Structure 1
Amino acid sequence: MMRKKYKVTLILIVVGIGILFTACTTLNFPQFGKLPEQVRLERIQKSPHYIHDEFTYPVATPMLRDGESTLKIFWDNFWAEKQQTVPPQAIPSVKTNLLALNPQQDVVIWLGHSAYYIQLAGKRILIDPVLSDYAAPFSFLVKAFKGTTLYKVEDIPEIDYLLISHDHYDHLDYSTVIQLKDKIKNVIVPLGMGSHFEYWGYPAEKIHENDWFDTLKLDKNFSIHILPARHYSGRTLTHNKTLWASYALETPAHKIYFGGDSGYGSHFKQIAAQLGGFDSVMLDSGQYDPRWPLIHMTPEEAVQAAQDLNAKNMLPMHIGRFALSTHAWNEPFKRVAQASDNASLILLTPKIGQPLWLDDEFSDFPHWWENIE
């Protein structure tokens, strides 16, 4: 009997060592990036937003509601009644030739989820691009909806500014930034995230790391404001060692706000008080869930945030390409359309790849998602 127990114990130890070795080896894969250290960490520690060895939003923002855990969420999702989280057919799109665009024309083009190609004041800007057909460290996870992976690296022109809001996989895609490396002139990221880019071979002189309320003026008549968001960061089990952010892009002709991933919070009114109103705002409107109510907005909260920002136009984002929550894929579109009916703004819902010419007058867009059954 003792010999049998010894064998079982030995087998369990060997299996445990194997699992630990596999985990350690996997976490050394380059797509997981690298946490800040040394000089970069010393700068981070001076930030007023870095408290008790992690970045924090001014108001307590736990990732999950009390009583929830990642394991419990997996268990509940397994037994939950399934909604149609993935569209039953390909998402309609318009593949605009980005290489043929006149760079002097100001335009915003939604690339799906939270990714945008933007031209302002002669500058080409790319925000949170995910050109892969997945949003995860491995290609078999979090697959993109059919019809939404339009662009490849060869379709992207030389980029003056690559902006990344935070280091989650649906915003910072390793494969994309590696393939784009030679096309990127400048990388704009929140504090700490430069560690990932240097680890992936980007020259340090291209990387500009910033704290909330910093402003970059690297070109005449073009400013990039790095601003708060209510969220969290981390590519492994370690969280909040790099900062997350939203951005405002300002030229004499236009002012645009990109909210990144964010729950609803007082920072929207604070930003409007500091910078004034905005022509257009892109706001997190999907992947919400009662189990994580503080780190993503519902569509109704997003419309309220747009009003807090004194926005003329609102583009809902964090929708239309990946299913990261349990709500139906088209629910955010329906709810944001309804919530915006009585709001003092124009809701802009272009198809993926459809250009929004910023010097044109906007009217309501057709509800293209209603034709997908």
Structure 2
Amino acid sequence: MHTAVTITLIVLLILLLLSLAYYLFWIIKKPSPPFKEPETRLSPKEWRDDEVTIGWVGHSTVLINLYGYIILTDPVFGKRVGIRLGRGERWILGTKRHTAPAISIEEIGKVDLILLSHAHMDHFDIPTLRKLARPETKVITPKGTARLLRKMPYGQVMEMADEESMEVDHQVKIKGVPVRHWGNRYPWNVKYGYTGYLIERNGVRIFFPGDTAYTPRFRKLKEEGEIDIAIMPIGAYTPDSFQWAHCTPEQAWKMFQEMEAKWFIPIHWDTFVLSYEPVHEPLERLYKAAGDQADRIALTRHGQAFVYQKQEKKQPIYT
């Protein structure tokens, strides 16, 4: 009996040491960029409600004014994301933000709809979602994840699965789009879904996949109508093993071309260090992949806002 207990303790100790060694290896190898404020800040109060304006807050958080209807994707405004061990951000075990949000929650004002792509902590930030909770705000979230918001005073929380569609407030059409990723917040959350979203109003269609690896599924989107803007992730692809769930910049551009979208907005880079590639590499590789079509890349810095005018060939970028 004592021998079995001793062997068990030794195995546990070995596993602990291996885990510690792996953690230290990760800490040493990953980039450590200095903290910075965005060069520009978003000013949504100056945006017009008869246009489509999209601003990059940081990571996968994008603020959209879709003809006066305000949408916020995967909102994360905290200084750190990860496992919460106690109250306050200093008790979060996880990665630290190195680029501040390009706007505060208070500066955003009213939000009509929040879109959540999956429950990973860098996309589904509970402290941020608590601060955003208002009776006038609705939330669409993947299957199985509404329970994470059950104590928050949102006007309505709706779950959506792939290929499902709904019209929100009789104004905006939302459709769930299959992506190649995974949804577990913790290992045991096997029933948490994950999905991308096709957003449509007044004939303008915007695609937001959240996180995704390369998938040929997006080719089908063009069959349902023209995609005006694709908001695509371009970071967290190194080491290569990460690419089963995260696309490279080249793969993101390939999917963009396959869906025949007009404009590319890159996200999921230069905000949190989640992988080994240098923080500026994703954008550099994206530009190289785009080649002579690089002028179709709409936003390249935190705090930039892009005004899309469907009938005009040349689109202005406001910073």
Q: Which residue of the other structure, out of 120, 125, 131, is the alignment partner of 2:77?
A: 131
Aligned to 1:175: 127
Task: Note if 1:232 corresponds to 2:182.
Answer: yes
Task: Note if 1:276 corresponds to 2:276.
Answer: no
Contact 1:110 1:354 in 2 (8 A): yes
CA distance in 2, matches of 1:350, 1:333: 8
Give the structure-1-normalised TM-score: 0.72
Contact 2:263 2:298 in 1 (8 A): yes
| Amino acid of the structure 1 residue aligned with 2:199 | L
Contact 2:41 2:303 in 1 (8 A): yes
Alpha-carbon offset, residue 130 of structure 1 = 0.4
Aligned to 1:166: 118
Alpha-carbon offset, residue 79 of structure 1 = 4.0
| Amino acid of the structure 2 residue aligned with 1:163 | L
Contact 2:299 2:306 in 1 (8 A): no
Distance 1:320-1:221 versus aligned 2 partners, 3 A rule: same
Q: Deviations over 1:41-82 (max 9, x none)?
A: xxxxxxxxxxxxxxxxxxxxxxxxxxxxxx979745744796
| Amino acid of the structure 1 residue aligned with 2:77 | L
| Amino acid of the structure 2 residue aligned with 1:169 | M
Contact 2:61 2:74 in 1 (8 A): yes
Q: Which residue of the other structure, out of 252, 261, 282, is the alignment partner of 1:302?
A: 252
Contact 1:162 1:184 in 2 (8 A): no
Aligned to 1:101: 47
Task: Note if 1:112 corresponds to 2:58.
Answer: yes
Q: Deviations over 1:209-239 (max 9, x none)?
A: 1111111112445211111111001222224
Distance 1:206-1:221 versus aligned 2 partners, 3 A rule: closer
Alpha-carbon offset, residue 125 of structure 1 = 0.5
Q: Deviations over 1:72-93 (max 9, x none)?
A: 7974574479667243462543
| Amino acid of the structure 2 residue aligned with 1:279 | D
Alpha-carbon offset, residue 349 of structure 1 = 2.8
Distance 1:284-1:240 versus aligned 2 partners, 3 A rule: farther
Task: Note if 1:186 corresponds to 2:138.
Answer: yes
Aligned to 2:173: 223
Tell me which structure has the larger Cα radius of gyration. Answer: 1
Give the structure-2-normalised TM-score: 0.83
SS in 2 for 1:307: helix
Structure 2 unaligned regions, length at least 5 = none
SS in 1 for 2:232: strand
Within 5 A, what are the aligned runs for 1:318-337? Answer: 318-337=268-287
Percent identity for Structure 1 against Structure 2: 25
| Amino acid of the structure 2 residue aligned with 1:231 | H
Alpha-carbon offset, residue 143 of structure 1 = 0.7
Contact 1:115 1:129 in 2 (8 A): yes
Contact 1:126 1:163 in 2 (8 A): yes
Distance 1:73-1:268 versus aligned 2 partners, 3 A rule: farther
Aligned to 1:45: none
Task: Note if 1:362 corresponds to 2:308.
Answer: no
CA distance in 1, matches of 2:49, 2:318: 25
Higher fraction of strand: 2
CA distance in 1, matches of 2:275, 2:168: 38
CA distance in 2, matches of 1:235, 1:258: 20
Aligned to 2:163: 213
Aligned to 2:96: 143
Distance 1:92-1:229 versus aligned 2 partners, 3 A rule: same
Aligned length: 301
Q: Deviations over 1:186-227 (max 9, x none)?
A: 1111111111111x3345x60111111111112445211111
RMSD of Structure 2 on Structure 1 (CA): 3.1
Contact 1:255 1:280 in 2 (8 A): yes
Moved more, 337-346 or 246-255: 337-346
SS in 1 for 2:80: coil
CA distance in 2, matches of 1:304, 1:73: 36
Alpha-carbon offset, residue 320 of structure 1 = 1.6
Q: Deviations over 1:153-210 (max 9, x none)?
A: 2112111111100000111101000011126521111111111111x3345x601111
Contact 1:217 1:223 in 2 (8 A): yes
Q: Deviations over 1:298-333 (max 9, x none)?
A: 000000000111111111111120010011111101
Alpha-carbon offset, residue 343 of structure 1 = 4.8
Moved more, 228-237 or 356-365: 356-365
| Amino acid of the structure 1 residue aligned with 2:152 | G
SS in 2 for 1:178: helix
Distance 1:331-1:82 versus aligned 2 partners, 3 A rule: farther
Moved more, 356-365 or 114-123: 356-365
Aligned to 1:201: 152
| Amino acid of the structure 2 residue aligned with 1:97 | S
